[in-house]
Amino acid sequence: MRALPTVMPEVYDAFLAGHFSVQMSKSNPFGQNEADKTIENTINRDCKTSGGYIGFSANFAATQRWVLNNSRRSSYRRLFREHVSLLSTENKPHKELSPSHIRSDMEAVANVVDVLENVFCNPWNRDVVHLISLSTGISATPEVRDDLLQANEKGKSASRKFVEQRCSSDESVPFFDPLTKLKLKSFKYLKAVTKVRSKDAVIPIKLDRDVFARMALLGQFRKIDMRLVFTYPLGPLPWALADPYGLPRKTNKAKLAQQLEKQVVIKDCYPLDATSIYDGMAVLQKFKPPPGATFAVLAESLFTMLTSNSSKRIDVVSDIYKDISIKNAERSKRATGPVGITYKNILPGYRVKNWSKILSVSANKTDSSEARVVPELRSNHEEADTRMVLHAKHAGGKCVIYSEDTDVMILLIGHAHNLGKCYLQKGNGSKRRIVGISEIADQLERQVADGITKQEACEALMGLHALTGCDTVSAFSSKGKLRSMQMLVKNHIYANTMKDIGKEWSVSDDTFSATEEFVCHLYGKKGKSVDSLRYELHYAKGGKVAPEALPPCQSSLRLHVSRANYQAAIWRRATEACPDIPSPHGHGWN
Protein backbone atom coordinates (compact mmCIF):
# COMPACT_ATOMS: atom_id res chain seq x y z
CA MET A 1 0.00 0.00 0.00
CA ARG A 2 2.89 2.38 0.66
CA ALA A 3 4.16 1.82 -2.89
CA LEU A 4 0.69 2.22 -4.40
CA PRO A 5 1.27 5.82 -5.71
CA THR A 6 4.21 4.64 -7.83
CA VAL A 7 3.27 1.05 -8.66
CA MET A 8 -0.43 1.60 -9.45
CA PRO A 9 -1.09 5.35 -9.61
CA GLU A 10 -4.53 4.89 -11.20
CA VAL A 11 -5.71 2.85 -8.21
CA TYR A 12 -4.21 5.39 -5.83
CA ASP A 13 -6.05 8.24 -7.58
CA ALA A 14 -9.29 6.25 -7.45
CA PHE A 15 -8.90 5.74 -3.71
CA LEU A 16 -8.31 9.46 -3.21
CA ALA A 17 -11.49 10.15 -5.18
CA GLY A 18 -13.45 7.99 -2.76
CA HIS A 19 -13.81 4.94 -4.99
CA PHE A 20 -13.04 2.41 -2.28
CA SER A 21 -16.54 0.93 -2.05
CA VAL A 22 -18.73 -0.90 -4.53
CA GLN A 23 -22.44 -0.52 -5.16
CA MET A 24 -24.05 -3.72 -6.38
CA SER A 25 -27.58 -2.40 -6.85
CA LYS A 26 -29.05 0.75 -8.34
CA SER A 27 -32.13 0.60 -6.13
CA ASN A 28 -30.28 1.36 -2.90
CA PRO A 29 -27.66 4.12 -3.24
CA PHE A 30 -26.69 3.72 0.42
CA GLY A 31 -26.03 -0.01 0.12
CA GLN A 32 -22.35 0.16 -0.77
CA ASN A 33 -19.92 -2.50 0.43
CA GLU A 34 -16.21 -2.54 1.06
CA ALA A 35 -14.07 -3.63 -1.88
CA ASP A 36 -12.69 -6.72 -0.15
CA LYS A 37 -16.17 -7.83 0.90
CA THR A 38 -17.42 -7.36 -2.66
CA ILE A 39 -14.55 -9.47 -4.01
CA GLU A 40 -15.51 -12.25 -1.60
CA ASN A 41 -19.13 -12.13 -2.78
CA THR A 42 -18.32 -11.95 -6.51
CA ILE A 43 -14.96 -13.12 -7.89
CA ASN A 44 -13.99 -15.47 -5.10
CA ARG A 45 -17.48 -16.87 -4.81
CA ASP A 46 -17.76 -17.54 -8.55
CA CYS A 47 -14.37 -19.23 -8.70
CA LYS A 48 -14.82 -21.61 -5.82
CA THR A 49 -14.46 -25.27 -6.61
CA SER A 50 -16.58 -27.96 -5.02
CA GLY A 51 -13.90 -28.69 -2.45
CA GLY A 52 -12.90 -25.08 -1.83
CA TYR A 53 -9.69 -23.26 -2.65
CA ILE A 54 -7.28 -25.21 -0.51
CA GLY A 55 -5.83 -28.41 -1.94
CA PHE A 56 -7.81 -28.52 -5.20
CA SER A 57 -4.61 -29.31 -7.14
CA ALA A 58 -1.11 -30.48 -6.26
CA ASN A 59 0.31 -29.31 -9.60
CA PHE A 60 2.16 -26.01 -9.24
CA ALA A 61 1.71 -25.00 -12.90
CA ALA A 62 -2.02 -25.74 -12.78
CA THR A 63 -2.37 -23.63 -9.66
CA GLN A 64 -0.53 -20.73 -11.29
CA ARG A 65 -2.75 -20.88 -14.38
CA TRP A 66 -5.82 -21.00 -12.14
CA VAL A 67 -4.68 -17.88 -10.30
CA LEU A 68 -3.83 -15.93 -13.46
CA ASN A 69 -7.18 -16.46 -15.18
CA ASN A 70 -9.23 -16.46 -11.99
CA SER A 71 -10.92 -13.09 -12.52
CA ARG A 72 -11.69 -13.79 -16.19
CA ARG A 73 -13.33 -17.13 -15.47
CA SER A 74 -15.31 -15.43 -12.74
CA SER A 75 -16.65 -12.80 -15.14
CA TYR A 76 -17.60 -15.50 -17.67
CA ARG A 77 -19.56 -17.41 -15.07
CA ARG A 78 -21.34 -14.30 -13.85
CA LEU A 79 -22.27 -13.22 -17.39
CA PHE A 80 -23.57 -16.70 -18.14
CA ARG A 81 -25.75 -16.66 -15.03
CA GLU A 82 -27.14 -13.28 -15.96
CA HIS A 83 -27.81 -14.52 -19.50
CA VAL A 84 -29.90 -17.44 -18.28
CA SER A 85 -31.62 -15.20 -15.67
CA LEU A 86 -30.05 -16.97 -12.72
CA LEU A 87 -28.53 -13.74 -11.48
CA SER A 88 -29.47 -10.09 -11.78
CA THR A 89 -27.36 -7.19 -10.62
CA GLU A 90 -29.91 -4.54 -11.52
CA ASN A 91 -32.13 -4.90 -8.48
CA LYS A 92 -30.20 -7.18 -6.22
CA PRO A 93 -32.02 -7.14 -2.87
CA HIS A 94 -30.11 -6.57 0.34
CA LYS A 95 -30.90 -8.93 3.19
CA GLU A 96 -30.70 -6.03 5.63
CA LEU A 97 -33.62 -4.32 3.85
CA SER A 98 -36.06 -7.20 4.11
CA PRO A 99 -39.07 -6.55 6.40
CA SER A 100 -38.17 -9.43 8.73
CA HIS A 101 -34.57 -8.19 9.05
CA ILE A 102 -35.77 -4.65 9.74
CA ARG A 103 -38.13 -5.90 12.46
CA SER A 104 -35.32 -7.93 14.00
CA ASP A 105 -33.00 -4.91 13.97
CA MET A 106 -35.65 -2.67 15.53
CA GLU A 107 -36.25 -5.21 18.30
CA ALA A 108 -32.51 -5.39 18.94
CA VAL A 109 -32.30 -1.60 19.14
CA ALA A 110 -35.29 -1.51 21.51
CA ASN A 111 -33.63 -4.11 23.74
CA VAL A 112 -30.41 -2.10 23.86
CA VAL A 113 -32.34 1.08 24.70
CA ASP A 114 -34.27 -0.79 27.38
CA VAL A 115 -31.04 -1.97 29.02
CA LEU A 116 -29.46 1.48 28.83
CA GLU A 117 -32.51 3.25 30.27
CA ASN A 118 -33.67 0.76 32.88
CA VAL A 119 -30.56 -1.17 33.89
CA PHE A 120 -27.43 0.88 33.19
CA CYS A 121 -26.76 4.29 34.67
CA ASN A 122 -26.23 7.38 32.53
CA PRO A 123 -22.47 8.04 32.19
CA TRP A 124 -23.09 11.40 30.50
CA ASN A 125 -25.07 12.85 33.37
CA ARG A 126 -23.31 16.08 34.26
CA ASP A 127 -24.40 15.80 37.86
CA VAL A 128 -22.54 12.52 38.32
CA VAL A 129 -18.99 13.42 39.26
CA HIS A 130 -17.93 10.01 40.52
CA LEU A 131 -16.66 7.01 38.65
CA ILE A 132 -19.62 4.66 38.29
CA SER A 133 -19.97 1.17 36.86
CA LEU A 134 -22.23 1.25 33.81
CA SER A 135 -23.78 -2.16 34.44
CA THR A 136 -24.38 -1.91 38.19
CA GLY A 137 -24.47 1.81 39.00
CA ILE A 138 -22.05 1.28 41.90
CA SER A 139 -19.69 4.15 42.72
CA ALA A 140 -16.01 3.32 42.79
CA THR A 141 -14.22 3.61 46.09
CA PRO A 142 -11.32 6.12 46.21
CA GLU A 143 -8.70 3.38 45.83
CA VAL A 144 -10.52 1.79 42.87
CA ARG A 145 -11.07 5.19 41.27
CA ASP A 146 -7.40 6.16 41.61
CA ASP A 147 -6.19 2.86 40.15
CA LEU A 148 -8.57 3.07 37.18
CA LEU A 149 -7.75 6.69 36.36
CA GLN A 150 -4.02 6.22 36.81
CA ALA A 151 -3.73 2.82 35.12
CA ASN A 152 -2.12 4.27 31.99
CA GLU A 153 0.45 6.29 33.92
CA LYS A 154 1.27 3.40 36.24
CA GLY A 155 1.68 1.10 33.25
CA LYS A 156 4.08 3.51 31.55
CA SER A 157 6.01 3.92 34.79
CA ALA A 158 6.35 0.15 35.12
CA SER A 159 7.50 -0.05 31.49
CA ARG A 160 10.20 2.58 32.04
CA LYS A 161 11.30 0.81 35.20
CA PHE A 162 11.56 -2.47 33.28
CA VAL A 163 13.77 -0.88 30.63
CA GLU A 164 15.99 0.86 33.17
CA GLN A 165 16.48 -2.20 35.35
CA ARG A 166 16.71 -4.96 32.73
CA CYS A 167 17.63 -3.49 29.36
CA SER A 168 20.39 -1.05 30.27
CA SER A 169 24.12 -1.74 30.23
CA ASP A 170 24.23 -1.85 34.02
CA GLU A 171 21.09 -3.91 34.60
CA SER A 172 20.19 -4.34 38.26
CA VAL A 173 17.60 -7.06 37.70
CA PRO A 174 18.11 -10.14 35.48
CA PHE A 175 16.08 -9.84 32.30
CA PHE A 176 14.22 -13.15 32.72
CA ASP A 177 13.21 -12.66 36.35
CA PRO A 178 9.44 -12.78 36.95
CA LEU A 179 7.56 -9.50 36.60
CA THR A 180 5.84 -8.01 39.60
CA LYS A 181 2.12 -7.46 39.08
CA LEU A 182 0.80 -3.96 39.65
CA LYS A 183 -2.36 -5.40 41.25
CA LEU A 184 -4.52 -2.46 40.23
CA LYS A 185 -8.01 -2.54 41.66
CA SER A 186 -11.06 -2.42 39.39
CA PHE A 187 -14.80 -2.75 39.95
CA LYS A 188 -14.23 -6.48 40.33
CA TYR A 189 -12.49 -5.64 43.60
CA LEU A 190 -15.87 -4.49 44.95
CA LYS A 191 -17.48 -7.91 44.61
CA ALA A 192 -19.25 -9.23 47.65
CA VAL A 193 -17.08 -11.05 50.17
CA THR A 194 -18.33 -13.47 52.78
CA LYS A 195 -16.01 -14.70 55.53
CA VAL A 196 -16.10 -18.34 56.54
CA ARG A 197 -14.26 -19.87 59.49
CA SER A 198 -12.06 -22.89 58.95
CA LYS A 199 -10.65 -24.12 62.25
CA ASP A 200 -8.91 -21.05 63.65
CA ALA A 201 -8.62 -19.12 60.38
CA VAL A 202 -11.14 -16.75 58.84
CA ILE A 203 -11.14 -17.11 55.05
CA PRO A 204 -12.83 -14.53 52.79
CA ILE A 205 -14.73 -15.98 49.83
CA LYS A 206 -15.60 -13.70 46.94
CA LEU A 207 -18.78 -14.11 44.94
CA ASP A 208 -17.17 -15.47 41.80
CA ARG A 209 -18.31 -17.92 39.13
CA ASP A 210 -15.05 -19.82 39.53
CA VAL A 211 -15.92 -20.62 43.13
CA PHE A 212 -19.20 -22.19 42.03
CA ALA A 213 -17.52 -24.18 39.24
CA ARG A 214 -14.71 -25.43 41.46
CA MET A 215 -17.07 -26.51 44.22
CA ALA A 216 -19.33 -28.35 41.77
CA LEU A 217 -16.32 -30.02 40.15
CA LEU A 218 -14.81 -30.90 43.51
CA GLY A 219 -18.02 -32.57 44.60
CA GLN A 220 -18.11 -34.61 41.41
CA PHE A 221 -14.55 -35.96 41.59
CA ARG A 222 -14.55 -36.55 45.33
CA LYS A 223 -17.46 -38.97 44.81
CA ILE A 224 -19.81 -36.93 46.94
CA ASP A 225 -23.55 -37.21 46.49
CA MET A 226 -24.13 -34.37 44.01
CA ARG A 227 -27.78 -34.14 44.91
CA LEU A 228 -26.63 -33.22 48.39
CA VAL A 229 -24.07 -30.75 47.00
CA PHE A 230 -26.75 -28.80 45.14
CA THR A 231 -28.77 -28.30 48.30
CA TYR A 232 -26.20 -25.63 49.20
CA PRO A 233 -25.73 -22.22 47.51
CA LEU A 234 -22.16 -23.14 46.40
CA GLY A 235 -21.00 -19.62 47.05
CA PRO A 236 -21.09 -16.88 49.66
CA LEU A 237 -24.42 -15.63 48.25
CA PRO A 238 -27.09 -17.24 46.05
CA TRP A 239 -26.25 -16.49 42.43
CA ALA A 240 -29.90 -16.49 41.35
CA LEU A 241 -30.73 -13.67 43.76
CA ALA A 242 -27.53 -11.61 44.14
CA ASP A 243 -25.16 -10.04 41.64
CA PRO A 244 -21.37 -10.37 41.96
CA TYR A 245 -21.29 -7.19 44.05
CA GLY A 246 -23.62 -8.61 46.67
CA LEU A 247 -26.56 -6.41 45.67
CA PRO A 248 -30.06 -7.77 44.99
CA ARG A 249 -30.66 -8.70 41.38
CA LYS A 250 -33.02 -6.41 39.53
CA THR A 251 -35.59 -6.92 36.82
CA ASN A 252 -37.45 -4.55 34.54
CA LYS A 253 -40.57 -3.77 36.54
CA ALA A 254 -41.86 -1.47 33.80
CA LYS A 255 -42.55 -4.52 31.61
CA LEU A 256 -45.27 -5.60 34.03
CA ALA A 257 -46.84 -2.14 34.02
CA GLN A 258 -46.80 -2.06 30.23
CA GLN A 259 -48.47 -5.46 30.08
CA LEU A 260 -51.19 -4.38 32.49
CA GLU A 261 -51.81 -1.16 30.55
CA LYS A 262 -52.26 -2.98 27.24
CA GLN A 263 -55.67 -2.57 25.63
CA VAL A 264 -56.73 -0.13 28.37
CA VAL A 265 -58.28 3.08 27.06
CA ILE A 266 -56.28 6.14 28.07
CA LYS A 267 -58.33 8.96 29.59
CA ASP A 268 -58.26 12.12 27.47
CA CYS A 269 -58.57 14.79 30.15
CA TYR A 270 -58.02 15.32 33.85
CA PRO A 271 -61.00 14.13 35.96
CA LEU A 272 -63.08 16.93 37.44
CA ASP A 273 -63.13 17.45 41.22
CA ALA A 274 -60.44 14.85 41.76
CA THR A 275 -57.84 14.68 44.50
CA SER A 276 -54.23 14.89 43.32
CA ILE A 277 -51.74 12.74 45.23
CA TYR A 278 -48.04 13.23 44.55
CA ASP A 279 -44.96 11.27 45.54
CA GLY A 280 -43.04 14.19 47.01
CA MET A 281 -39.54 12.83 46.50
CA ALA A 282 -40.33 11.75 42.93
CA VAL A 283 -41.49 15.29 42.20
CA LEU A 284 -38.27 16.74 43.62
CA GLN A 285 -36.07 14.32 41.71
CA LYS A 286 -37.86 14.98 38.42
CA PHE A 287 -37.87 18.74 38.91
CA LYS A 288 -35.16 20.74 37.10
CA PRO A 289 -34.47 24.07 38.85
CA PRO A 290 -33.82 27.05 36.55
CA PRO A 291 -30.14 28.08 36.32
CA GLY A 292 -29.14 30.34 39.20
CA ALA A 293 -32.45 29.86 41.00
CA THR A 294 -32.71 30.37 44.74
CA PHE A 295 -34.62 28.08 47.07
CA ALA A 296 -37.43 30.65 47.18
CA VAL A 297 -37.78 30.54 43.38
CA LEU A 298 -37.58 26.75 43.49
CA ALA A 299 -40.40 26.58 46.06
CA GLU A 300 -42.61 28.90 44.01
CA SER A 301 -42.00 26.86 40.85
CA LEU A 302 -42.85 23.64 42.63
CA PHE A 303 -46.01 25.13 44.12
CA THR A 304 -47.13 26.39 40.71
CA MET A 305 -46.52 22.98 39.16
CA LEU A 306 -48.42 21.10 41.87
CA THR A 307 -51.44 23.42 41.73
CA SER A 308 -51.68 23.59 37.93
CA ASN A 309 -54.55 21.06 37.79
CA SER A 310 -58.14 21.74 38.79
CA SER A 311 -57.92 19.60 41.92
CA LYS A 312 -60.18 20.00 44.91
CA ARG A 313 -57.43 18.66 47.15
CA ILE A 314 -53.68 18.14 46.80
CA ASP A 315 -51.73 15.63 48.89
CA VAL A 316 -47.92 15.47 48.78
CA VAL A 317 -46.61 12.27 50.32
CA SER A 318 -43.00 11.35 51.04
CA ASP A 319 -40.96 8.54 52.54
CA ILE A 320 -39.86 8.27 56.14
CA TYR A 321 -36.11 7.66 56.43
CA LYS A 322 -35.22 5.19 59.15
CA ASP A 323 -31.79 4.03 60.22
CA ILE A 324 -32.84 0.39 60.00
CA SER A 325 -34.78 -0.05 56.80
CA ILE A 326 -35.30 -2.76 54.21
CA LYS A 327 -34.75 -0.07 51.56
CA ASN A 328 -31.21 0.79 52.66
CA ALA A 329 -29.61 -1.37 49.95
CA GLU A 330 -31.70 0.26 47.22
CA ARG A 331 -31.07 3.77 48.52
CA SER A 332 -27.33 3.23 48.73
CA LYS A 333 -27.31 2.02 45.13
CA ARG A 334 -29.36 4.98 43.91
CA ALA A 335 -27.00 7.46 45.52
CA THR A 336 -24.61 8.98 42.98
CA GLY A 337 -21.64 8.84 45.29
CA PRO A 338 -20.34 9.31 48.79
CA VAL A 339 -20.06 13.10 48.50
CA GLY A 340 -23.12 15.34 48.58
CA ILE A 341 -24.17 18.82 49.63
CA THR A 342 -25.57 19.06 53.15
CA TYR A 343 -27.42 22.07 54.53
CA LYS A 344 -27.93 22.60 58.24
CA ASN A 345 -30.40 25.38 57.55
CA ILE A 346 -31.85 26.16 54.12
CA LEU A 347 -32.67 29.85 53.68
CA PRO A 348 -34.84 31.25 50.84
CA GLY A 349 -32.00 33.35 49.45
CA TYR A 350 -29.55 30.46 49.05
CA ARG A 351 -28.81 29.52 45.46
CA VAL A 352 -29.35 25.96 44.29
CA LYS A 353 -25.88 24.94 43.14
CA ASN A 354 -26.30 21.25 42.42
CA TRP A 355 -29.81 19.88 42.86
CA SER A 356 -28.95 16.20 42.41
CA LYS A 357 -26.14 16.42 44.98
CA ILE A 358 -28.54 17.95 47.48
CA LEU A 359 -31.03 15.13 46.97
CA SER A 360 -28.32 12.47 47.28
CA VAL A 361 -27.99 13.20 51.01
CA SER A 362 -30.66 11.52 53.14
CA ALA A 363 -30.56 14.31 55.74
CA ASN A 364 -31.64 16.84 53.11
CA LYS A 365 -34.51 14.59 52.03
CA THR A 366 -35.73 14.39 55.61
CA ASP A 367 -35.56 18.16 56.03
CA SER A 368 -37.29 18.85 52.71
CA SER A 369 -40.20 16.55 53.52
CA GLU A 370 -41.27 18.29 56.73
CA ALA A 371 -44.84 19.53 56.36
CA ARG A 372 -48.17 19.69 58.14
CA VAL A 373 -49.69 16.25 58.56
CA VAL A 374 -53.42 15.65 58.87
CA PRO A 375 -53.95 13.88 62.24
CA GLU A 376 -55.99 11.00 60.81
CA LEU A 377 -53.28 10.45 58.19
CA ARG A 378 -50.45 10.04 60.67
CA SER A 379 -48.90 6.74 59.73
CA ASN A 380 -45.97 4.50 60.55
CA HIS A 381 -45.62 3.37 56.94
CA GLU A 382 -42.10 4.03 55.71
CA GLU A 383 -42.64 4.18 51.96
CA ALA A 384 -44.56 6.84 50.08
CA ASP A 385 -46.00 4.02 47.93
CA THR A 386 -48.16 2.69 50.77
CA ARG A 387 -48.87 6.16 52.16
CA MET A 388 -50.38 7.25 48.83
CA VAL A 389 -52.83 4.34 49.03
CA LEU A 390 -53.79 5.46 52.54
CA HIS A 391 -54.32 9.03 51.30
CA ALA A 392 -56.43 7.76 48.39
CA LYS A 393 -58.69 5.88 50.79
CA HIS A 394 -58.98 8.92 53.07
CA ALA A 395 -59.83 11.24 50.17
CA GLY A 396 -62.49 8.95 48.72
CA GLY A 397 -64.16 9.71 45.41
CA LYS A 398 -61.94 10.34 42.42
CA CYS A 399 -58.17 10.42 42.93
CA VAL A 400 -55.29 10.94 40.52
CA ILE A 401 -51.99 9.51 41.75
CA TYR A 402 -48.88 10.90 40.10
CA SER A 403 -46.25 8.17 40.00
CA GLU A 404 -44.05 6.32 37.52
CA ASP A 405 -43.36 3.50 39.95
CA THR A 406 -44.74 0.08 39.06
CA ASP A 407 -45.01 -0.69 42.78
CA VAL A 408 -47.64 2.05 43.14
CA MET A 409 -49.67 0.66 40.25
CA ILE A 410 -49.62 -2.83 41.76
CA LEU A 411 -50.69 -1.47 45.16
CA LEU A 412 -53.57 0.49 43.67
CA ILE A 413 -54.76 -2.54 41.71
CA GLY A 414 -54.48 -4.76 44.79
CA HIS A 415 -56.55 -2.34 46.90
CA ALA A 416 -58.94 -1.28 44.13
CA HIS A 417 -61.92 -2.84 45.94
CA ASN A 418 -61.26 -0.62 49.01
CA LEU A 419 -60.70 2.64 47.11
CA GLY A 420 -62.81 5.03 45.10
CA LYS A 421 -62.30 5.80 41.44
CA CYS A 422 -58.51 6.00 41.12
CA TYR A 423 -56.39 7.05 38.17
CA LEU A 424 -52.65 6.87 37.65
CA GLN A 425 -50.89 9.64 35.74
CA LYS A 426 -47.61 8.67 34.11
CA GLY A 427 -45.16 10.13 31.64
CA ASN A 428 -44.23 13.68 30.67
CA GLY A 429 -45.06 15.98 27.80
CA SER A 430 -46.51 14.22 24.78
CA LYS A 431 -46.17 10.85 26.54
CA ARG A 432 -48.31 11.91 29.50
CA ARG A 433 -51.27 9.62 30.04
CA ILE A 434 -53.95 8.97 32.65
CA VAL A 435 -54.87 5.33 33.19
CA GLY A 436 -57.88 4.14 35.16
CA ILE A 437 -57.07 1.55 37.82
CA SER A 438 -60.53 0.00 37.64
CA GLU A 439 -60.12 -0.40 33.87
CA ILE A 440 -56.85 -2.27 34.43
CA ALA A 441 -58.58 -4.53 36.97
CA ASP A 442 -61.41 -5.22 34.51
CA GLN A 443 -58.90 -6.04 31.78
CA LEU A 444 -57.08 -8.37 34.18
CA GLU A 445 -60.35 -10.16 34.93
CA ARG A 446 -60.79 -10.93 31.23
CA GLN A 447 -57.33 -12.51 31.07
CA VAL A 448 -57.47 -14.85 34.06
CA ALA A 449 -58.54 -18.47 33.85
CA ASP A 450 -61.88 -19.77 35.06
CA GLY A 451 -62.14 -20.04 38.82
CA ILE A 452 -60.14 -16.85 39.53
CA THR A 453 -62.19 -13.81 40.50
CA LYS A 454 -61.16 -10.24 39.77
CA GLN A 455 -60.44 -9.47 43.41
CA GLU A 456 -58.35 -12.63 43.80
CA ALA A 457 -56.30 -11.75 40.72
CA CYS A 458 -55.76 -8.18 41.93
CA GLU A 459 -54.69 -9.30 45.40
CA ALA A 460 -52.44 -12.01 43.94
CA LEU A 461 -50.54 -9.36 41.97
CA MET A 462 -49.04 -7.93 45.17
CA GLY A 463 -47.62 -11.29 46.22
CA LEU A 464 -46.35 -12.01 42.71
CA HIS A 465 -44.69 -8.61 42.39
CA ALA A 466 -42.93 -8.96 45.74
CA LEU A 467 -41.75 -12.49 44.97
CA THR A 468 -40.38 -11.72 41.50
CA GLY A 469 -38.55 -8.53 42.44
CA CYS A 470 -39.24 -5.03 43.72
CA ASP A 471 -37.23 -2.25 45.37
CA THR A 472 -36.69 -4.22 48.57
CA VAL A 473 -36.71 -7.83 47.36
CA SER A 474 -34.35 -9.27 44.77
CA ALA A 475 -35.51 -10.73 41.48
CA PHE A 476 -34.67 -14.12 40.03
CA SER A 477 -31.82 -13.81 37.55
CA SER A 478 -33.06 -13.61 33.94
CA LYS A 479 -36.65 -14.35 34.98
CA GLY A 480 -38.80 -11.43 33.97
CA LYS A 481 -42.18 -10.32 35.17
CA LEU A 482 -44.12 -11.31 32.07
CA ARG A 483 -43.40 -15.03 32.37
CA SER A 484 -44.56 -15.14 35.99
CA MET A 485 -47.62 -13.04 35.10
CA GLN A 486 -48.62 -15.52 32.40
CA MET A 487 -48.30 -18.37 34.87
CA LEU A 488 -50.46 -16.54 37.41
CA VAL A 489 -53.42 -15.80 35.13
CA LYS A 490 -53.55 -19.35 33.76
CA ASN A 491 -53.42 -21.31 37.02
CA HIS A 492 -55.82 -20.75 39.91
CA ILE A 493 -53.50 -22.67 42.29
CA TYR A 494 -50.70 -20.19 41.63
CA ALA A 495 -53.15 -17.31 42.01
CA ASN A 496 -54.23 -18.57 45.43
CA THR A 497 -50.59 -19.06 46.43
CA MET A 498 -49.63 -15.50 45.49
CA LYS A 499 -52.76 -14.24 47.26
CA ASP A 500 -51.62 -15.94 50.47
CA ILE A 501 -48.18 -14.28 50.41
CA GLY A 502 -48.31 -11.43 52.89
CA LYS A 503 -51.54 -12.37 54.63
CA GLU A 504 -49.58 -13.19 57.76
CA TRP A 505 -46.16 -12.01 58.88
CA SER A 506 -44.75 -15.55 58.83
CA VAL A 507 -44.78 -17.99 55.92
CA SER A 508 -46.61 -21.24 56.51
CA ASP A 509 -45.18 -24.53 55.29
CA ASP A 510 -48.05 -24.94 52.82
CA THR A 511 -47.48 -21.49 51.34
CA PHE A 512 -43.75 -22.09 51.00
CA SER A 513 -44.25 -25.49 49.36
CA ALA A 514 -46.70 -24.01 46.85
CA THR A 515 -44.32 -21.11 46.18
CA GLU A 516 -41.43 -23.54 45.67
CA GLU A 517 -43.51 -25.38 43.09
CA PHE A 518 -44.22 -22.05 41.37
CA VAL A 519 -40.49 -21.25 41.23
CA CYS A 520 -39.74 -24.67 39.73
CA HIS A 521 -42.28 -23.98 37.00
CA LEU A 522 -40.78 -20.51 36.50
CA TYR A 523 -37.45 -22.18 35.69
CA GLY A 524 -39.07 -24.31 33.02
CA LYS A 525 -39.87 -27.60 34.74
CA LYS A 526 -42.76 -28.68 36.87
CA GLY A 527 -41.55 -30.04 40.17
CA LYS A 528 -41.76 -29.56 43.89
CA SER A 529 -38.11 -29.26 44.91
CA VAL A 530 -35.72 -26.55 43.76
CA ASP A 531 -32.78 -28.60 45.06
CA SER A 532 -33.65 -31.48 42.74
CA LEU A 533 -34.22 -29.05 39.89
CA ARG A 534 -30.77 -27.50 40.42
CA TYR A 535 -29.20 -30.96 40.11
CA GLU A 536 -31.25 -31.84 37.01
CA LEU A 537 -30.52 -28.57 35.19
CA HIS A 538 -26.82 -28.82 35.95
CA TYR A 539 -26.50 -32.32 34.54
CA ALA A 540 -28.90 -31.76 31.65
CA LYS A 541 -26.35 -29.32 30.22
CA GLY A 542 -23.33 -31.40 31.07
CA GLY A 543 -22.29 -29.08 33.86
CA LYS A 544 -21.91 -26.18 31.40
CA VAL A 545 -24.48 -23.95 33.01
CA ALA A 546 -24.00 -20.51 34.52
CA PRO A 547 -24.60 -20.50 38.28
CA GLU A 548 -27.15 -17.68 37.99
CA ALA A 549 -29.17 -19.80 35.53
CA LEU A 550 -30.00 -22.26 38.31
CA PRO A 551 -32.76 -21.59 40.81
CA PRO A 552 -31.72 -20.79 44.38
CA CYS A 553 -31.38 -23.71 46.76
CA GLN A 554 -34.22 -24.35 49.18
CA SER A 555 -32.56 -22.63 52.13
CA SER A 556 -31.92 -19.48 50.08
CA LEU A 557 -35.41 -19.61 48.59
CA ARG A 558 -36.95 -19.82 52.05
CA LEU A 559 -35.22 -16.58 53.06
CA HIS A 560 -36.26 -14.98 49.77
CA VAL A 561 -39.90 -15.96 50.27
CA SER A 562 -39.74 -14.60 53.83
CA ARG A 563 -38.53 -11.25 52.53
CA ALA A 564 -41.20 -11.17 49.82
CA ASN A 565 -43.85 -12.12 52.39
CA TYR A 566 -42.72 -9.32 54.72
CA GLN A 567 -42.91 -6.73 51.95
CA ALA A 568 -46.26 -8.03 50.68
CA ALA A 569 -47.63 -7.98 54.24
CA ILE A 570 -46.78 -4.27 54.50
CA TRP A 571 -48.43 -3.63 51.14
CA ARG A 572 -51.59 -5.51 52.12
CA ARG A 573 -51.91 -3.24 55.18
CA ALA A 574 -51.49 -0.03 53.18
CA THR A 575 -55.03 1.13 53.99
CA GLU A 576 -54.29 0.94 57.73
CA ALA A 577 -52.75 4.09 59.18
CA CYS A 578 -50.65 2.43 61.88
CA PRO A 579 -50.42 -1.33 61.40
CA ASP A 580 -48.36 -3.38 63.81
CA ILE A 581 -45.25 -3.94 61.66
CA PRO A 582 -42.62 -6.20 63.24
CA SER A 583 -38.89 -5.70 62.81
CA PRO A 584 -37.45 -7.09 59.56
CA HIS A 585 -34.99 -9.13 61.62
CA GLY A 586 -36.00 -12.75 61.37
CA HIS A 587 -38.04 -12.17 58.21
CA GLY A 588 -35.28 -12.91 55.72
CA TRP A 589 -32.95 -10.14 56.92
CA ASN A 590 -30.29 -10.43 59.58
Q: Over the range 115-140, which residues count as b (16 or more CB within 10 Å of their CB) and which as e? A: eeeeeebeeeeeebeebbbeebbbbb
The segment with the largest mean pLDDT, out of 8-22, 42-56, 401-415, is 401-415
Q: Is the pLDDT of residue 334 over 60?
A: no
User: What is each CA distance from 182 to 91, 153, 156, 164, 374, in whole angstroms?
Assistant: 58, 12, 11, 17, 61
Per-residue confidence at 406, pLDDT binned at 50, 70, 90?
very high
Q: Transcribe 394-427 into DSSP letters.
A: HH-SEEEEE---HHHHHHHHHTGGGS-EEEEEE-
User: Would strands 398-402 and 274-279 be described as parallel, antiparallel, or unpaired?
Assistant: parallel
The length of the chain is 590
Q: Is the pLDDT of residue 313 over 80?
A: yes
Mean pLDDT of 523-539: 90
pTM, entire model? 0.69
Helix (H, G, I), strand (E, B) or coil at 231: coil
Per-residue confidence at 543, pLDDT binned at 50, 70, 90?
confident
Per-residue confidence at 465, pLDDT binned at 50, 70, 90?
very high
Q: Is the pLDDT of residue 201 over 90?
A: no
Q: Is the pLDDT of residue 340 over 90?
A: no
Q: Please write down the HEC assignment for all residues of 243-310.
A: CCCCCECCCCCHHHHHHHHCCCCCECCCCCCEEEEEEHHHHHHHCCCCCCCEHHHHHHHHHHHHCCCC
Phi and psi at 289, nearest 5°, equal: -65, 145
Mean pLDDT of 445-452: 88
Q: Domains of the chain: which residue ranges?
A: 3-84, 253-573
Instruction: Determine the pLDDT at residue 229.
Output: 82
Instruction: Determine the pLDDT at residue 336.
Output: 43
Q: Is the pLDDT of residue 479 over 60?
A: yes
Mean pLDDT, the chain, whole residue set = 82
Per-residue confidence at 579, pLDDT binned at 50, 70, 90?
very high
- Per DSSP, 95 falls in state G
The answer to whether 132 touches 140, Cβ cutoff 8 Å, is yes
Instruction: Determine the pLDDT at residue 457.
Output: 93
- The lowest-confidence range among 132-136, 271-275, 335-339, 381-385 is 335-339
pLDDT, tens digit, 9 for 90 and up, residues 208-256: 555 566 666 666 667 778 888 889 887 778 889 988 777 888 888 888 9
Calpha distance 228→323 (Å, rounded) = 39
SS3 content of the chain, % helix, strand, coil (to 5): 50, 10, 45
Percent residues over pLDDT 90 in the chain: 31
- The lowest-confidence range among 17-31, 410-424, 432-446, 453-467 is 17-31
